[in-house]
């Protein structure tokens, strides 16, 4: 198995390390104890649990801070990273509102050995809501488009009926005019 380059994940987003991001990042060792967290996550954890740092704590602290993050899923995903896999999962949770998170897991390698797992937690709620709105609009437009031939045919039928009625009325008027002319000719002609 080829292990990923150790800089692959660490250079991914320097804003995480400086606290200039609304996204969260942390790393855990193989015993699921936190090694590091970015300032944004530290601030959130402190506000929600009163703990200023997760370092050395296991993921129970994170579960308390982020309701909806299931520890067993998190552990299973970390195990995949400990086995050398880099991947991303999309998770839905109530946080306290509807929230969609994209969580990336990456093994961290030292001396050709995986020593820990780095996790990047990115809020994609706006993207998911926009996608749902686009699907809703697409479905409405598709419904309109599929009904359009019937609407056009109905409108054509209405227009045909109006034209037929107009032609009938003109024919009746013409017939009456011809009948009136005939009567006029008959009454003015010598017998």
Ordered by start, the domain boundaries in the chain are: 7-123, 126-182
Model pLDDT, residue 54? 65
Task: Find the range with the poorest average confidence among 50-64, 109-123, 125-139.
Answer: 50-64
Does residue 89 sit in helix, strand or coil? strand
pLDDT in tens, 151-190: 888 988 889 999 988 899 998 988 888 888 888 877 777 7
| Torsion sign (Cα): 93, 94, 95, 98 | positive
Confidence check: pLDDT of 130 > 50: yes
β-strand partners of 74: none
**What are the strands, taking DSSP E only, across the chain?**
24-29, 34-37, 87-94, 98-110, 113-123
Residue 83 confidence (pLDDT): 94
Whole-number Å distance between alpha carbons of 102 and 70: 14
Q: Summarize pLDDT for 8-65 with one digit per residue, the tens.
A: 444 444 444 454 556 888 888 888 888 888 888 778 777 766 766 666 666 666 666 6
State the CB neighbour count (10 A cutoff) for residue 117.
26
Candidates 81, 26, 24; CA nearest to 58 is: 26
pLDDT bin (cut points 50, 70, 90) of residue 2 is very low
Task: Report pLDDT for 41.
Answer: 77
Sign of CA dihedral 13, 123, 51, 71: negative
Confidence of residue 117 (pLDDT cuts 50, 70, 90): very high
7-123: CATH, from 3.40.50.1820, 3.40.50.1700, 3.30.450.20, 3.40.50.300: 3.30.450.20
């Amino acid at each position: 198995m080829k292990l990923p380059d150790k800089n692959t994940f660490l250079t991914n987003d320097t804003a995480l390390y400086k606290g200039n991001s609304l996204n969260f990042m942390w790393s855990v060792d193989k015993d699921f104890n936190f090694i590091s967290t970015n300032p944004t996550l530290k601030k959130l954890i402190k506000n929600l649990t009163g703990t200023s740092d997760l370092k050395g704590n296991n993921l129970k602290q994170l579960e308390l801070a982020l309701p909806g993050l299931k520890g067993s899923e998190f552990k299973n995903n970390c195990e995949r990273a400990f086995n050398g896999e880099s991947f991303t999962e999309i998770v839905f949770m109530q946080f306290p509102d509807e929230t969609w998170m994209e969580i990336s897991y990456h093994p961290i390698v030292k001396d050709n050995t995986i020593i820990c797992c780095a996790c990047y937690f990115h809020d994609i709620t706006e993207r998911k809501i926009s996608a749902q709105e686009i699907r809703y609009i697409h479905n409405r437009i598709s419904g309109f488009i599929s009904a359009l031939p019937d609407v056009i045919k109905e409108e054509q039928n209405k227009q045909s009926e109006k034209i037929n009625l107009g032609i009938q009325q003109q024919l009746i008027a013409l017939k009456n005019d011809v009948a009136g002319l005939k009567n006029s000719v008959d009454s003015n002609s010598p017998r």
